[in-house]
Structure 1
Amino acid sequence: MKRSVYWLMAAAAGIVVANNYYNQPLLADFALTFHTTERAAGAASVATQTGYALGLLLFVPLGDKLDRRSILGTLLCISSLALAAVAVSPTLDWLVAASFLTGLTSVAPQLLTPFAAQIAGPERRGEAVGIVMFGLLSGILMSRAVSGSIAQHWGWRTVYWLASAAMLVTAAVLSHRLPRSTPTWSGTYRRLMGSLWTLIREEALLRRTSAIAALQFAAFSAFWVTLTFHLRSMNAHYGSEIAGLFGLVGVVGALASTGAGKLIDKRNPRLVVLASSAIFFMAFAIFAWVGYGIAGLIAGVILLDFGLQSAHVANMARSMSIRSDAMSRINTLYMTIRFAGGALGSLLGVWAWSVWQWPGVCGVGLILACGSLALQAGPGVAGAGVQERCLRD
Structure 2
Amino acid sequence: MSSTSLTMTRGMVLLFAFCCGVIVANIYYSQPIIELIAPDIGISATAASLIVSLTQIGYALGMLFLVPLADLVENRRLMIITALVSVASLLAAAFTTQPHAFLLVSLLIGASSVSVQILIPLAAHLAAEESRGRVVGGIMGGLLLGILLARPLSSLIADHLGWRAVFLIAAAVMTAIVLTLATTMPKRQPDHSATYSQLILSLGKLFQREPVLRQRAMMQGCMFATFSLFWTAVPLELARNHGLSQTQIALFALVGAIGAVAAPIAGRLADAGHTRVATRLALILATLCFLPAFIPPSNTVIALALTGVVLDFCVQMNMVLGQRAIYALDAASRGRLNALYMTSIFVGGALGSSLASALFDHGGWLWIVVVGSAFPLVALGIFLRSDRA
TM-score interval, normalised by the smaller of the two chains:
over 0.9
Deviation readout 1:58-83 (Å, 9 max, x if unpaired): 11001111111111100000110001
SS at match of 1:106: coil
SS at match of 1:255: helix
Report what 1:298 is aligned to: 305
Pair 324,277 (structure 1): closer, same or farther in 2 beyond 3 Å: same
Q: What is the CA distance between 1:346 and its match in structure 2?
A: 0.9
Q: What is the CA distance between 1:291 and its match in structure 2?
A: 5.8
Q: Give ranges in structure 2 of 5+ residues lacking alignment.
A: 1-6
- Contact (CA 8 Å) 2:287, 2:374: kept in 1 or not? no
Q: What is the CA distance between 1:251 and its match in structure 2?
A: 1.8
Deviation readout 1:76-106 (Å, 9 max, x if unpaired): 0011000111101112222111111100111
- Contact (CA 8 Å) 1:80, 1:167: kept in 2 or not? yes
Report what 2:47 is aligned to: 40
Pair 291,52 (structure 1): closer, same or farther in 2 beyond 3 Å: farther
Q: Distance in 1 between matches of 2:118 and 2:246?
A: 31
Question: What is the correspondence of 1:255-294 to structure 2 with a 5 Å cutoff?
Answer: 255-289=261-295, 292-294=299-301
Q: Give ranges in structure 1 of 5+ residues lacking alignment.
A: 384-393
Deviation readout 1:255-291 (Å, 9 max, x if unpaired): 1111211121012312211111112122222245466
Give the counterpart letter for 2:353 in structure 1.
Answer: S
SS at match of 2:214: helix
Report what 1:66 is aligned to: 73
Q: Distance in 1 between matches of 2:240 and 2:252?
A: 16
- Residue from 205, 218, 223 that aligns with 1:211: 218
| Number of aligned positions between the proteins | 381
Question: What is the correspondence of 1:217-366 to structure 2 with a 5 Å cutoff?
Answer: 217-235=224-242, 237-289=243-295, 292-366=299-373
Instruction: Give the structure-1-normalised TM-score.
Output: 0.94
Give the counterpart letter for 2:80 in structure 1.
Answer: G
Q: Distance in 2 between matches of 1:93 and 1:239?
A: 28
- Contact (CA 8 Å) 1:349, 1:364: kept in 2 or not? no
Identity score, percent: 33
Q: Distance in 2 between matches of 1:288 and 1:9?
A: 41
- Contact (CA 8 Å) 1:288, 1:362: kept in 2 or not? no
Pair 91,288 (structure 1): closer, same or farther in 2 beyond 3 Å: farther
Q: Does residue 80 of the first structure (1) align with residue 87 of the second (2)?
A: yes
- Contact (CA 8 Å) 1:196, 1:329: kept in 2 or not? yes
Report what 1:368 is aligned to: 375
Q: Distance in 2 between matches of 1:351 and 1:10?
A: 35
- Residue from 102, 105, 120 that aligns with 2:127: 120
Give the counterpart letter for 1:247 in structure 2.
Answer: A
Give the counterpart letter for 1:146 in structure 2.
Answer: L
Question: What is the correspondence of 1:171-182 to structure 2 with a 5 Å cutoff?
Answer: 171-182=178-189
SS at match of 1:181: coil
Give the counterpart letter for 1:116 in structure 2.
Answer: A
Q: Which moved more, 1:343-352 or 1:217-226?
A: 343-352
Report what 1:19 is aligned to: 26
- Contact (CA 8 Å) 1:228, 1:239: kept in 2 or not? no
Instruction: Give the structure-2-normalised TM-score.
Output: 0.95
Q: Distance in 2 between matches of 1:271 and 1:321?
A: 18
Q: Which moved more, 1:30-39 or 1:253-262?
A: 30-39
Give the counterpart letter for 2:101 in structure 1.
Answer: W
Pair 225,186 (structure 1): closer, same or farther in 2 beyond 3 Å: same
Q: Distance in 1 between matches of 2:75 and 2:186?
A: 9
Q: Distance in 2 between matches of 1:288 and 1:368?
A: 18
Q: Does residue 131 of the first structure (1) align with residue 141 of the second (2)?
A: no
Q: What is the CA distance between 1:187 and its match in structure 2?
A: 0.8
Q: Distance in 1 between matches of 2:382 and 2:145?
A: 27
Deviation readout 1:188-246 (Å, 9 max, x if unpaired): 111111111110001001000000000000011011111111011224x2132222323
Cα RMSD, aligned residues only: 1.3
- Contact (CA 8 Å) 1:16, 1:167: kept in 2 or not? yes
Q: What is the CA distance between 1:341 and its match in structure 2?
A: 0.6
Q: Which moved more, 1:316-325 or 1:36-45?
A: 36-45
Q: Distance in 1 between matches of 2:60 and 2:236?
A: 25
Q: Which moved more, 1:32-41 or 1:54-63?
A: 32-41
SS at match of 1:185: coil
Q: What is the CA distance between 1:40 and its match in structure 2?
A: 1.8
